[in-house]
Amino acid sequence: MRWLLWLCILAALIDLRAFGLTDLDEGFYASVAWEMRQSGDWFTPTFLNQPWFEKPPLLYWLMGVSMRVFGENEFALRLPSVLFYALTIGLLAWWGNRRLGQGAGSWGALLFAVAPLSLILARLAITDMALTFFLTLAVIALWEARGLGWSLLGGIALGLAVLTKGPFGLGLVGLLYFWNAKRLYAHGVRFRWVGVALAVALLTALPWYVGVYLQHGAEFFSEFVVKQNLLRFAGGDTAHSVLPLIQRGDFGGVLTGVAVYLLFYGVVLWLGALPMVGYGSVLWRGEGDPVRLYLRRWAWLVFGLFTLSFTKLPAYIFPMFPVFALLAGAEIVRIRLRVIAPDSPSPFTQSGARWVRLGVSFGLILGAAVWCTVALYAPLWQNAFWVVTLVVGVPLTVFAFWNPVAPLGARVLGVLALLIGWNGALTGYDRLALKPVRELALKPPPYRTLILYRVNPGYPSIQFYRKGHYATSDDAETTLQQMQRTGAYCLTTDAAFVRRAEVFVLAEAQVMGKRFYLTAPRYKQQSPLPSDRGRLSQPYSVRANHLVMRRAPT
């Protein structure tokens, strides 16, 4: 069992540079971390040299340190997520075996490790894996806080969670404490130790918050506190909110909006937590074990609060995955003991329980079929053929965990196919949707600025790849003036813009139904700047992800 956990960790580390940065979030975080390192200002995050208060700075700091050691590349940017993935697995295995019974933690850690959402987030340079580790450690520390050691550890973890994604984590753990105050007191947790943990958390997080507020004042408060926290929860992030659907007023829009509002995270849990979702009954089963009840309440608190939020993103409920995996792991151990001791009563002997098991089995099969359908999407596997191993890996993994006494070989083969398949899926997506645009962006000389004009959604990762020679624009005339004045190049999807006499097309690419054009300013000699002739003497286009040489129009 333990070597399977190491296999998951090693697989996450291998070939982190197989696919480029994904946009939007990963592109923003990588670019902000790069700018922070270049400027030497480790206090104020910036994007395009303007303050960027979407997230606190901890992940940027970790990325900056990693880039200092491993260079400015995708491996360095994603390494912190892989390390927190490994730390979460280790924490679940150690504490779960200690508190839920021998083997429960190991099973739970493996379930968490192979969950589809875990495998995705472990390989992306975003905040969710770090936040999940810190919150899981804080939740465990709150249960164990009967002395100074756990109180200090829990306080530091909670403070780092606040520095990772904002104060919402502090509110979540606070609600968990008040919901379980009597039970925690009966368990031996005293308020003084909780107070110590809260003080340590504030001492850990407040210096940055107070300092940045004193420096930026109302700008920080309105952007970070109001917009990124309060308004986002209320649906202010229109790109990910269900409110626009509901506000349309027509029957279809309202019905769709309400359905997404209520069911979105049920679908995320169903697909993102395979195969542990097969043990979903552990989330509502009534039992007297206090630690299981405590963990269930944390899972429901995270799930319930984000279900109430009008802004929906799959990773929002990810902090419930570790405790869900622990509860599922404990259930697997219980089932295995019943199989070993056949005289003990089985939960599936009654007719009603058999129907429940049949329904759960159908849900697991359907969930596996959804992921297999994704894997068989032709443009995806044609760009990375090994993505088709998902078709083997997902059903095998579901079978191997839904049947706890399945052969060890089935688990090994399933995990291997799953890991290879997810790496292929991410690589295929990159080659299908991101790499052609990135290749266009890297064609202009490194000392020239690339302007993105009417490119939606934006590609903030280009700021990282262009090493700062990057700008955005929403106005054609301003873009043309900057191109003529500085020799900047322009990447655009506006077909009317490329037909203007002031520019000519150097290359183009068809990506996910959109055509991207790389353009240069047209001077009287109708050629690029003299210093660029050697590099761009034979412009080319990108069609269907293949390079085709062609002459530029004169």
Torsion sign across C-alpha atoms 242, 247, 248, 252: positive
| Mean predicted lDDT score pLDDT of the chain | 87
Query: Distance (Å, rounded) from C-alpha 537 to C-alpha 518?
Result: 15
Q: What is the pLDDT of residue 15?
A: 74
- Tens-digit pLDDT profile for residues 248-266: 777 777 888 888 889 999 9
- Tens-digit pLDDT profile for residues 389-447: 999 999 999 998 888 888 888 888 888 899 889 989 999 999 999 999 999 999 999 99
- Residue 369 or residue 457, greater confidence: 369
| Contact call for residues 26 and 136 (beta carbons, < 8 A) | no
Q: Give the strand pairing for 503-511 and 546-549.
A: unpaired
- Tens-digit pLDDT profile for residues 276-289: 999 999 998 876 78
* Closest-CA residue to 85 (of 181, 12, 162): 12
Cis ω before 457 (30° cut-off from 0):
yes
Q: What is the DSSP letter of 473?
A: E
Domain residue ranges of the chain, discontinuous segments joined by + = 21-344, 442-549
Q: Residue 537: exposed, middle, or buried by beta-carbon count in 10 A (0-12, 13-18, 19+)? A: exposed
Query: Distance (Å, rounded) from C-alpha 386 to C-alpha 396?
Result: 16
Q: What is the CATH number of domain 442-549?
A: 3.40.190
- Tens-digit pLDDT profile for residues 328-364: 999 999 888 876 555 544 444 454 567 778 888 999 9
**Cα-based angle 412, 132, 371 (whole degrees, multiple of 5):** 45
299-303 contacts, C-beta under 8 A, 24 or more apart: 299/323, 299/324, 299/327, 301/172, 301/175, 301/176, 301/179, 302/172, 303/265, 303/269
Residue 524: band (very low, low, confident or very high) from pLDDT cuts 50, 70, 90: low
What pTM was estimated for this model as a whole? 0.90
- Tens-digit pLDDT profile for residues 363-391: 999 999 999 999 999 999 988 989 999 99
Of 88-97, 168-177, 294-303, 347-356, which range is least confident? 347-356
Q: Among residues of the chain, what percentage have pLDDT more than 90?
A: 65
- Tens-digit pLDDT profile for residues 161-180: 999 999 999 999 999 999 99
